[in-house]
Amino acid sequence: MIKTADGAMGAPGCHPRTFRTPLGVRVFSLIGIGILGLITAFMIVAAGFAFKMQWALGLFMAAIAGFIGALTGYVWRDLRGKLGLRVVLGADAVTLDLPSGRSLIHRPPAQHLTVPYADIAAIESRYEAYGSLGMEMMQRAYVLRRKTGDLIFLFEERALATGMASTMFADIVADLAARAGVTVRDLGTVEGKGGFLGVWGTHAPDWAAPALPYARQLRLWRHAASTGTLAVSLVILVVLCMRYFGTG
């Protein structure tokens, strides 16, 4: 049974449904870009003054400004993915507006297409672990498999096993599978390359990669829960840098 816009319960496929990234999630990313942009501007100005006093300090602050500026671009790409994402469940087909920024690791191309439910073989999902600098990041990716064998990367839930875990796609995926009369196949957990801080140099395993042994999966999940999220770690780093330079 599916809950409709007026709160009533109906069978899957009875009512059209449109999904967009929740407003609060988009606003949060926009605020993050604003804060990071201001910090970058401040660090650039501070680096200019530091160069006049000591070139080594100025060079270090310029490097920090470059790092935060690059991080601002990373968050901006994520926001573009959230702003452009749209899924419309119609009577006989799903319309997908999928921007490239919907994944920050897989980097799928932007896709705008309508897929009849009769052409959908399954919705597949898997958990993906990415380690970096002693931290572990866990996410869940969703892929639509057509009966032709073609794969369409849909979206991903991030920061799993932490207090910032995203679960906004679970309901729309379940609704899509119900309307198409298919199952959501769980492919288990795989491990990719986390690169530097899970932002640069990351690499996702091939979609056909086999699931990890159960014991390894448990260790990765425990590690992700104990080390928290990448986002929290980056915020702490920025706060510490601002405190140091503000009191130096």
What pLDDT does 9 receive? Answer: 38
What distance in Å separates the CA atoms of residue 12 and residue 4, rounded to the nearest whole number?
10
Task: Summarize pLDDT for 5-32 with one digit per residue, the tens.
Answer: 333 334 454 688 999 988 888 888 889 8
Task: Summarize pLDDT for 56-82 with one digit per residue, the tens.
Answer: 888 888 888 888 888 888 888 888 888
Q: Which residue has the tokens 């310029």?
A: 62
Confidence (pTM): 0.76
Nearest to 108 by CA among 122, 120, 98: 98
Do residues 61 and 43 lie in contact, with contact meaning Cβ atoms separated by under 8 Å? yes
What pLDDT does 190 receive? Answer: 95
What distance in Å separates the CA atoms of residue 248 and residue 54, rounded to the nearest whole number?
13
What pLDDT does 229 receive? Answer: 46
